[in-house]
Structures are given as C-alpha cells and as structure tokens.
Amino acid sequence: MAQNKRAFIFDMDGTIVDNMAFHSKSWMTFFKRRGKDIDAEEFFLRTAGRQGKEIMRAYLGDDLPDAENLELNLEKESVYRELYEPHRKTVAGFDDLIAQAKLRGVALAVATAAPNANIEFTLDGLDLRRHFDAVVGAADVARGKPNPDVFLLAAERCGAAPENCIVFEDAPLGVEAARRAGMRAVVLTTTLPAAAFAEFDNVIHIASDFSELTIDELFAA
C-alpha cells in the first residue's frame, strides 16, 4: 500500500541527459538505410516516450515478427550509443537537485521507455543508478507512453501515491502519461519549446534545466 512518501520520477532521455537529438539522428540514419526519409520533428512528436518495438511497428508494419523487431532495435540502439557516447553528461543542475532531494527524504525513480542496454549506458555510464530507489524501463511494462504504466510502477516501487509524485519530462507523450497517472509534471525544454506543453493542466513548472528548480517550490505548486 502506498505511503505518504514524496517522490521525484525522472524520464531519462531528454530529461536527465540532453540526448534526444542523438536519438532522432540515429533513428533517421536507421530508417534512411531502409529507404525511408522521415521528418525529425514529426517523428519526435509522434514517438517520444514510446518503446522501440512500438516505433518499429509504427514505421515498418504491425506484422513485423518479434525476433526481427528485437534484432532491428539492437541495431538502431548501437547506432545511438556510438553517436552519443562522446557527449554523455547530465543536464545542468540535475546532480544538485537529486542530492537535495535525498537529504529531504524524497524518493527518486527513473521511468523510461529505454531498453536495459540504454539504461545501463546512461545510468551506469554516469554512475547514477546508486542514487535511485527504483528504475523502471521498457522491459518492466508492456506499453510505452502515453500509457501511465511506467510512472505508476515507479511510484509503487518507491512507496509513493501518485498525487505525491512529481514527474520530470521533456515530451508531450510523457506529460500525458503523467496526467493519466494522476501526477504533476515539470517540463524540461531540452527538446521542445514551452508552447508545446500549453494544453496540459498537470504541468506545474517549465524550465530550461534543473538549476532553476527548488524542492519547496515544486511541492508547493
């Protein structure tokens, strides 16, 4: 049963690390090799927060066999890691915010559509996993965002009720998933401008990075 504990739940790609341009570039490279020219902005709005297997079927067909889907995803993710590795770092202010949260007894979780290999690449590559009470990824839930599953499972593993959780996101599909989970959201404009989130009533703050945020202000919102 959920307790009155407060929790911060972070999307990973585009939120903890400013890497969505590299994800988009790797997808564009992957699909171009298969004769598909895709608009990067439209692709992001349509797919950010969805699992790789869902994206593959959206563009290559619903009848794509599971084994082939997995193989293609592994190929795409290897392109991404090769492109992004030299640039891997956290968004400004992130390390300070989570340090202050830990001191205040706020539980910390990651809730991402990324597969385990990319979670390891980011969290372990930056020595971040030790800070989190829960890490939930694509392997833990059947559906990607905007379904709320990944956020609800993260809250459950932290022992926090949805109304006591604040989600940090960079994508409209992620903010919608937080809304469906009954959670407030903070938007990081690492990928899209603030105007892209105007329709959401669960957004309590929009910031360019974490250095602008304080824990008291966030929970008071």
Q: Out of 11, 18, 133, 149, which one is annotated catalytic?
A: 11
DSSP string across 178-190: HHHTT-EEEEETT
Consecutive H or E run containing 27:
helix 20-32
Q: If we measure between CA atoms, which residue out of 206, 141, 212 comes closest to residue 177?
A: 141
Q: Is the pTM of this model over 0.85?
A: no
Which amino acid is present at 39?
Answer: D
Range with lowest mean pLDDT among 59-63, 158-162, 171-175: 59-63
- Choice between 47 and 56, residue whose per-residue pLDDT is larger: 56
Region 149-171 average pLDDT = 97
Q: Write down the pLDDT at residue 2.
A: 45
Cβ partners under 8 Å of residue 51, min gap 6: 113, 115, 138, 143, 144
Q: pLDDT of 69-124, one tens digit each?
A: 999 988 988 888 888 999 999 999 999 999 999 999 999 999 999 989 899 999 99
Q: How many residues does the chain have?
A: 221
- Assigned token pair, 5: 């504990």
Residue 92 to residue 147: CA distance in whole angstroms: 28
CA angle 120–124–128, rounded 5-degree value: 125
127 is an active site residue: no
